[in-house]
Amino acid sequence: MNQDAFRTRHEEEWLAFEQWLDSASAKRPRDRAASTTFGEETAAHRYRVLCQHLALARDRQYSPGLVERLNALVMRGHQVLYGAHPETGPAVARFFAADFARAVRRQWRPIALAAALFFIPLIAVAAALQIWPDLVHTLLPQKQILRYEEMYDPANKRPGARAAQADALMLGHYIWNNIRIGFQTFAGGLLFGLGSVFYLVINGVLIGATAGHLIQIGFTTPFLSFVAGHSALELGGIVLMGAAGLMLGSALLLPGPLARVSALRMQARAAVALVYGGGAMLALAALVEAFWSPVTHFDPSLKYAVGITLWLLLAAYLLLSGRQRAD
């Protein structure tokens, strides 16, 4: 096909895509609404077709002017479709100001189930160790028990860490550990929910075993004063990630009238808010754990007060934020 025939055949497609680029780049919402000709999904398809046209124009050695025009459209299309959008900042602010809390309230059932699966084993194991202290040796390896005793020994001037470890190094470790646990708990939902149930219960058991053992041997103050500050964010984040995983599992187990793939897709869209919010909570928990939790300059009662305040603030945020619009 010669260049003139190629241009005549595809000119309208290029103009339509260029019009969409202009509308998508318009600063005023009114201008975007007035000039948009097709949606972003169609635009993505047209962008891929445009890339093919550019490749053909180069391969057939069409004029530099045509190649440059198509290349410019491809570059603009890539920026609009896959680059940074000016709406990203406000959208993130809206999400954490209201949308996340509304999503938590809408999904209270899987969240309540996840909380039960996590906190009941945690509390039960911690309580059991006060009566049967030797039970810890069946739940935790001896090496890990000794490491926890070293970390929370009242003689340790930096609770929760070894003396040689810097706060910045611990931040990286805490972020990796928290995100790893959150991802496992969420992704386990793809195993018909069984993976999420397993990780919620096992993490509850392990945390309960650690807490129960340290309290039983008399390390209560260094341990509780260390975990108080980040407990709301970390434990809450684990529960939310587990709830998101349970939602995936419910779609696979009980798809209703939908095909399993369709039900999974629908539940995944509903669960993504819990994943984003829970992941952010786990990252913030790591920050608090690295830079506030090890601080020993303050009286433990102050650290307890900060921890309780964060629990209350988190509860108030999730219960009240976004109430100006209907849930």
| Token digits of residue 13 | 């497609």
pLDDT tens digits, one per residue of 113-148: 999 999 999 999 999 999 999 999 999 999 999 999
What is the helix (H) or strand (E) element at residue 19, kind and residue range?
helix 3-25
pLDDT tens digits, one per residue of 239-254: 999 999 999 999 999 9
Q: CA angle, corner 125, sides to 285 and 229, nearest 5? A: 20
Weakly modelled stretches of the chain, pLDDT under 70: 25-41, 83-88, 158-168, 324-327
Quote the distance between the C-alpha of residue 156 and its chain's center.
33
| Token digits of residue 163 | 């003396």
* Model pLDDT, residue 203: 97
pLDDT tens digits, one per residue of 37-66: 555 567 788 888 888 888 888 888 888 888
Largest CA distance in the chain: 88
Amino acid at 113: L
Query: Residue 315's CB: how many other CB atoms inside 10 A?
Result: 12
* Model pLDDT, residue 305: 97
H helix intervals, the chain: 3-25, 29-35, 40-59, 64-82, 88-94, 100-106, 108-131, 136-139, 142-151, 167-187, 194-216, 220-253, 260-291, 300-320
Looking at every residue in the chain, the average pLDDT score rounds to: 88
Task: Read off the pTM.
Answer: 0.73
pLDDT tens digits, one per residue of 176-187: 999 999 999 999
Q: Are 283 and 175 in contact (CB under 8 A)?
A: yes
